[in-house]
Amino acid sequence: MKKRVLLIASTTGYQTHVFAEAAERMGLELVMATDRCHVLEDPWGDHAVPVRFEDPSPGIESLGEYGPFAGIVAVGDRPALMAAQAAERLGLRFSPPDAVLASQNKFLARERFREAGLATPSYKLVPLNADPHAAARATPYPCVLKPLSLSASRGVIRADNVQEFVTALARIRKMIEGEACLLVENFIPGREFALEGLVTDGRLQMLALFDKPDPLDGPFFEETIYVTPSRESERVQEAIRDTVQRAVSALGLTRGPAHAEMRINGAGVWILEVAARPIGGLCARVLRFGDRTLEEVILLHALGEDVRHVELSPGAHGVMMIPIPCAGVYSGVEGLENARRVPGIEDVVITAKEGQTLLPLPEGASYLGFIFARGGTAGAVEEALRESHACLKFHLPAALPVVR
């Protein structure tokens, strides 16, 4: 009888698709649960179980009918919290709900990092209904305004003075509903990195450390290039691993994937966040562990298998999240074949759909697509990604205003 694994996800998009493919290759039965209308019977034809992230208890109770499960995985932030709650109810391996909740709330995470003695910027909560000029005058600069629960840099804005603070607060107010406050913290200069790992009984296993060679100094923080292995010294990499381990312990994460972001400057390693989920979007595709994908490694880990022997395949690997240069309606791209022919480029995937209205950060929540590269060195991979991106010309005519 096949082992059954529960996958909780926001949608049945790319990541759920690759998890389903990985489960099939491994001879596993994957049961998907997604946040969708429970009235319509299987609207996407994926046989997913409908659940509600805002009211998880009924859905978690119903999931028991589809078990027993040998493991549980989650794709995305809100699914990770429900997975933690479901794992607690169903007796499965996952981090505790309060730890996952803290990892998703920027203020709670900052509080736990500070209490653990980690390098932490000065920070405060600012009510969304506060007088913007009074709040701005009471803030040292430069600072960064952050919604508490949004991810992927959405709504994150740097302000260097009172007027920029007031403008940023007004933009964020339009973006978020149901939140009373946002986080304001000192801007941390430095080089930024991302770490992909697994947590087993509270211990971190680093699977990959990504350099982010493009500076992320604001006013918005759109990520572009990730390259691994890191070109930093072993001493710096060890400092990063140690800091992320301390952050994992501070949050109370005990089991499952972890995606961490951090900055380094003369004062050391500053942890930005540790999410209880794998890297998002198509980015996981760049990671290979011999003949295993990241999804296969995560599934093995969810089953309780020992994956300590897993190592990243030799060579250098990189991905570029193609940024949206301006707001508009996507109508096509030129130079795609030339971009794919650049030496070292494995593939260029355009995820934008014709007719789709696209917004850049801080309001936007997507990319135009992804470029994947492999090579002998991290420098060669970075160069290939930039050359490939330079071949692309996107058509984004402005959307017509709605006439009322």
Residues 97 and 8 in one domain: yes
Range of the domain at 320: 316-404
Domain containing residue 403: CATH number = 3.30.470.20
376 lies in some domain: yes
Domain containing residue 23: CATH number = 3.40.50.20
Q: Which two tokens stand for residue 264?
A: 């380094």
302 lies in some domain: no
Q: Cα(83)–Cα(75) distance, rounded to whole angstroms?
A: 9
Residues 400 and 332 in one domain: yes
Domain boundary among 66, 101, 136: 101
Residues 353 and 395 in one domain: yes
* 148 Cβ neighbours under 8 A, 6+ residues apart: 105, 106, 107, 179, 181, 182, 183
333 lies in some domain: yes
Q: Which uninterrupted H or E stretch holds 107? A: helix 106-115
Residue 281, classed as helix, strand or coil, is coil
pLDDT for residue 64: 87
342 lies in some domain: yes
Considering Cα of 324, then 328, then 329, then 330, what sign does the dihedral take? Answer: negative
Residues 80 and 131 in one domain: no
251 lies in some domain: no
pLDDT for residue 96: 98
Q: Cα(102)–Cα(111) distance, rounded to whole angstroms?
A: 9
Residue 252, classed as helix, strand or coil, is coil
The pairing of strands 71-75 and 143-147 is unpaired
Question: Which residues, listed in sequence order, are joined to residue 143 by a DSSP beta bridge?
Answer: 159, 186
32 lies in some domain: yes
Q: Cα(161)–Cα(148) distance, rounded to whole angstroms?
A: 22
Q: What is the residue-level pLDDT of the chain in tens, covering all 404 positions?
A: 899 999 999 876 788 899 999 999 999 999 999 985 444 444 444 567 888 888 888 888 889 899 899 999 999 899 999 999 999 999 999 999 999 999 999 999 999 999 999 999 999 999 999 999 999 999 999 999 999 988 878 999 999 999 999 999 999 999 887 789 999 999 999 999 999 999 999 999 999 999 999 999 999 999 999 999 999 999 999 999 999 999 999 999 999 999 999 999 999 999 999 999 999 879 999 999 999 999 999 999 999 999 999 999 999 999 999 999 999 999 999 999 999 999 999 999 999 999 999 999 999 888 999 999 999 999 999 999 999 999 999 999 986 454 43
Looking at the structure of the chain, the number of domains it has is 3
* Residue 306 DSSP code: -
pLDDT for residue 40: 40
Q: Give residue 18's identity as a one-letter amino acid code.
A: V
Return the number of other C-beta atoms located less than 10 Å from residue 211's C-beta.
Answer: 20
pLDDT for residue 13: 75
Q: Where are the alpha helices (DSSP H) in 116-184?
A: 132-137, 162-175
Cis omega (within 30 of 0) on the bond before 397? no
278 lies in some domain: no
Q: Name the phi and psi angles at 316, rounded to 5.
A: -110, 150
Q: Give residue 376's identity as a one-letter amino acid code.
A: G
Place of tokens 């709504």: 155
216 lies in some domain: no
Domain containing residue 129: CATH number = 3.30.1490.20
pLDDT for residue 250: 98
Residues 95 and 141 in one domain: no
Q: Cα(386)–Cα(321) distance, rounded to whole angstroms?
A: 11
Domain boundary among 36, 66, 101: 101
Q: Which two tokens stand for residue 305?
A: 């298998």
Residues 324 and 370 in one domain: yes
Q: Which two tokens stand for residue 135?
A: 């709040």
Residues 8 and 47 in one domain: yes
Q: Name the phi and psi angles at 346, rounded to 5.
A: -85, -40
Largest Cα span, the chain: 65
pLDDT for residue 12: 65
The pairing of strands 4-9 and 71-75 is parallel
Query: Are residues 240 and 262 in contact, defined by beta-carbon separation less than 8 angstroms?
Result: yes
Q: Cα(65)–Cα(256) distance, rounded to whole angstroms?
A: 24
Q: Cα(6)–Cα(8) distance, rounded to whole angstroms?
A: 7
Residues 9 and 66 in one domain: yes
Q: Which two tokens stand for residue 211?
A: 């350099």
Q: Cα(6)–Cα(1) distance, rounded to whole angstroms?
A: 16
